[in-house]
């Protein structure tokens, strides 16, 4: 009798611990910024996703980055919500596995994921948030979609402008001149604010607030080459 009671109590405790673990895990929000690792790629157009993550870490007083799941990950909190700031350490076109591993380990639904990346279909300095969509030619997004087996996750694109297709690789992997750099700095700040809005107030509010104006505060329409589903035209990122 005593043994059966003890087993029942142990089972209840185990179940309670499991429920608490799942509840804790489900509280996380994941913000993943894309880029290429290493000093050679710092401040390049293709690495604005990393820069937004660094700005968020500064704004939130995030923990020191730890190497985990093939990424650099820092933990932070905002308005009582727990945030994982993720920078995959794989190169851009292999971003999917670290992101998928984080989502799987914490047992999170895709509604808790925001991916931040550069976008050659947007003018330098503009940002755009979308709830889902294709990769639009971006290889980092394409790999995440492949590994998650879904396009149903939010993405925040930071405009870097475009150039002739034969020079695209050189363009995205180079550092912009000072005037363009100033536009990107402002966009990085706004992208960080938009990401926090997504955590605190939800995707729709972030879209309403940050898709309605450019870096100068004027109203913004759908970008050329982008239709309502978020698919892009011929401008492609390597």
Radius of gyration over every alpha carbon of the chain, rounded to an integer in angstroms: 20
46 is catalytic: yes
Catalytic residue among 45, 46, 72, 155: 46
Question: How far apart (Å, rounded) are the C-alpha atoms in residues 74 and 62?
Answer: 6
Pairing of strands 127-130, 81-88: unpaired
Question: How far apart (Å, rounded) are the C-alpha atoms in residues 228 and 145?
Answer: 19
The residues, any chain, with a CB within 8 Å of residue 45's CB and separated by 6 or more, are 118, 160, 171, 172, 173, 174, 175, 176, 184
Q: Tokens standing for 88? A: 């995959």
Active site residues: 46
């Amino acid at each position: 009798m005593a043994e059966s009671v003890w087993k029942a109590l142990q089972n209840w405790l185990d179940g309670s611990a499991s429920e608490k673990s799942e509840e804790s895990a489900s509280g996380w929000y994941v913000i993943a910024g894309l880029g290429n690792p290493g000093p050679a790629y710092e401040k390049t157009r293709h690495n604005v996703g990393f820069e937004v993550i660094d700005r968020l870490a500064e704004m939130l007083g995030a923990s020191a980055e730890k190497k985990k799941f093939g990424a650099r990950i820092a933990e932070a909190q905002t308005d009582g919500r727990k945030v994982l700031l993720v920078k995959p350490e794989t190169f851009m076109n292999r971003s999917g596995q670290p992101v998928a591993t984080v989502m799987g380990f914490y047992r999170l639904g895709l509604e808790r994921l925001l991916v931040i990346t550069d976008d050659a279909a947007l003018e330098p300095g503009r940002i755009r948030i979308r709830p889902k969509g294709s990769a639009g030619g971006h290889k980092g997004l394409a790999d995440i979609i492949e590994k998650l087996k879904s396009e149903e996750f939010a993405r925040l694109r930071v405009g870097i402008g475009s150039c002739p297709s034969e020079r695209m690789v050189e363009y995205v992997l180079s550092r912009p001149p000072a005037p363009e750099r100033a536009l990107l700095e402002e966009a990085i700040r706004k992208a960080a604010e938009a990401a926090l809005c997504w955590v605190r107030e939800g995707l729709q509010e972030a879209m309403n607030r940050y898709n309605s104006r450019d870096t100068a505060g004027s109203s913004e329409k759908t970008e050329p080459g982008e239709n309502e589903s978020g698919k892009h035209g011929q401008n492609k990122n390597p």
